[in-house]
Amino acid sequence: LGSRDEVRGKKAVEQLTAENLPVSLIIIDVTNQSTIDAAVNEVTNKYGHLDILINNSGVYAKEPRPSELTVDDIRHNFDVNFFGAFSVTKAFLPLIRKSTAGRIVNVSSGLSSFHFHESQANCFFHLAYSASKTSLNMLT
C-alpha cells in the first residue's frame, strides 16, 4: 500500500491486516520522483514484479470561479491527479510487464464527465479538478 503520509498509511495497513490481508506500507509521494523511484526499488527487491497498480491519488479542494483560479491552483491539481499517475505508471511499467496478468487501474471521478458540466449549477466550478481528472481518463 502506497501512501505519502506514514501515519495514515500505517493506520490503513493495520485495518487491512486486521482483515487478514497481507499488506505492507511503501511511502510514496506521486509528485516526488525520488520517492517513486524508491518505491519501485522496494517492490523490485521484495517481489520482482507488480500484478496490479491502482493510481488512487488525488487532490480536491473547494475551488473559486474559473476567473479567480491561478495557474498554480490548476498546476497543483494536474501535478497530483494527472502527472502523478503518469509518473507512477511509467516508473512501475517494467514491473507490471513482468507479471503474468499485470493491470493498471486509474481512479477518476464523475466530475471529469462533460455531462456533469452541462448543468448551469455545475458549469462554473471544479475547473482544475475536473480538467485534471478528464486528462487522467485520457491516460487510461
pLDDT higher than 80, residue 112: no
CATH number at 21 reads 3.40.50.720
Give every CB contact of residue 116 below 8 A, 6+ residues apart in sequence: 110, 122, 130
Q: What is the total count of domains within the chain?
A: 1
Give the pLDDT of residue 68.
78
Question: Which pLDDT value is given to residue 117?
Answer: 46
Tens-place pLDDT, residues 18-77:
999 999 999 999 999 999 999 999 999 999 999 999 998 887 666 666 677 888 888 998
Query: Annotated active-site positions, please?
Result: 129, 133
Domain of residue 65 covers 2-139
Residue 116 has pLDDT above 90, yes or no: no
Query: pLDDT grade, residue 124 (50/70/90)?
Result: low
Residues 90-102 pLDDT 10s: 999 999 999 999 9
3-state SS class at 39: helix
| Model confidence, pTM | 0.82
Taking 50 as the threshold, does the pLDDT of residue 78 lie above it?
Answer: yes
Cα–Cα distances in Å, from 116 out to 1, 68, 119? 32, 21, 6
